[in-house]
Each structure stands twice: as C-alpha cells, then as structure tokens.
Amino acid sequence: MKAISSIIATAIGQYVGASVKTDKIKVKTVDTLVSEGITSEMLVAPKKGEDVVFYGSVKAAVVAGFASNVQALLDKDTKTLSDSQKSDKRYWQQQIGSKIKDLRNALVKREAQGEDGEARGNVASFEARLKRDLAKYIAQIEKGEAFEFPAVEMLKHLKSASVLIK
C-alpha cells in the first residue's frame, strides 16, 4: 500500500492541531472550575424540586459557546418550528448535556488525582460501582419515554438487583 496523499496528511494535521488546542482549553477550563470550588457533583442535573439556579447558569454558559444561529434556534418556541428545526433543536439540546458531561467527567478525573497528579488508590469496589450504575440506569429509565422493552418490568428487575447488593 502506498503512503497517504498530501491532502490527507494536511487534513490529519489540521484535525490533530485542532484537537490538541481543544484539549488545552478543556484543561484550562477544568483548572478554573477547580479554583472556583466547583466539583463534579455540582455538574449533575438537579432532581425535580431542587434548586436549578447553578445548573441553569452552567447550561447558559454552554449555550453562549454555540454559534449565534444555534442560540437563536434554542431560544425559539418548539411549537413554532418545522420538523427539521425541531430535530436540529433537539440535537443542540443534547449537546448542552454532552458538553456539561464532558466537563463533569474531566472533573471526576481531576478529583481522582492526588496533589502530585498521581492517581489515588481509593477506587470504588465492584459492588459500589455496580450499585451506582444500577441507580443511574433506574433514573434514566424513569425519565425515559419510549422504549422497545417493557420499562416497568425492567425497572422492577433493576431495583431488585440493586437491593441484593449490600
């Protein structure tokens, strides 16, 4: 097989350059969050009835990073949009959560490191991770709307499994 073309090499170089720049910005953002006392737990969406001011301000900051046409789309009432626009709006709303999750995951990694940057030895046990994951799946199914499986039955089994774990 022959070597890649100069066009491909240029494209790969541009991609790598952009991703390195993005990674550096992410590290700087996480540094700022840590210095301001923000923890990964603070970037979890609040449950119904809990205070949403902080999380709402994080979402607003994420939206402010989107292009102006995306911001305008997100501001529009969904009922007034075409099917295509509704699909686009749904995509960008999902991106808000995705970007917050990226930051939360970066904070989780940072919190797992010691002062010297070495990973801490306090890894959760298998049982603790399993119970946490089951709770996450239960919450996701309870929030969900349409599934291709019987959600009520699935919830019953997941909750039963969670009870078995001490």
Contact at 8 Å (CB) between 25 and 36? no
Asked if 49 and 113 sit in the same domain, the reply is yes
Asked if 68 and 131 sit in the same domain, the reply is no
Q: What is the pLDDT of residues 28-82, one digit of tens each?
A: 999 999 999 999 999 999 988 888 899 999 999 999 999 999 999 999 999 999 9
| Boundaries of domain holding 162 | 124-166
Give the pLDDT band of residue 123 (cuts 50, 70, 90). Answer: low
Asked if 105 and 149 sit in the same domain, the reply is no
Asked if 42 and 117 sit in the same domain, the reply is yes
Residue in the structure block whose two tokens are 């900051």:
61
Q: What is the pLDDT of residues 84-119, one digit of tens each?
A: 999 999 999 999 999 999 999 999 998 887 555 555
pTM of the model: 0.64
Asked if 92 and 143 sit in the same domain, the reply is no
Asked if 53 and 29 sit in the same domain, the reply is no
Alpha carbon distance 134, 136 (integer Å):
5
Asked if 42 and 100 sit in the same domain, the reply is yes
Torsion of CA 119, 124, 47, 153, to 10 degrees: 140
pLDDT score, position 91: 96
Contact at 8 Å (CB) between 111 and 39? yes
pLDDT score, position 111: 87
**Domain total for the chain?**
3
3-state secondary structure of 105: helix
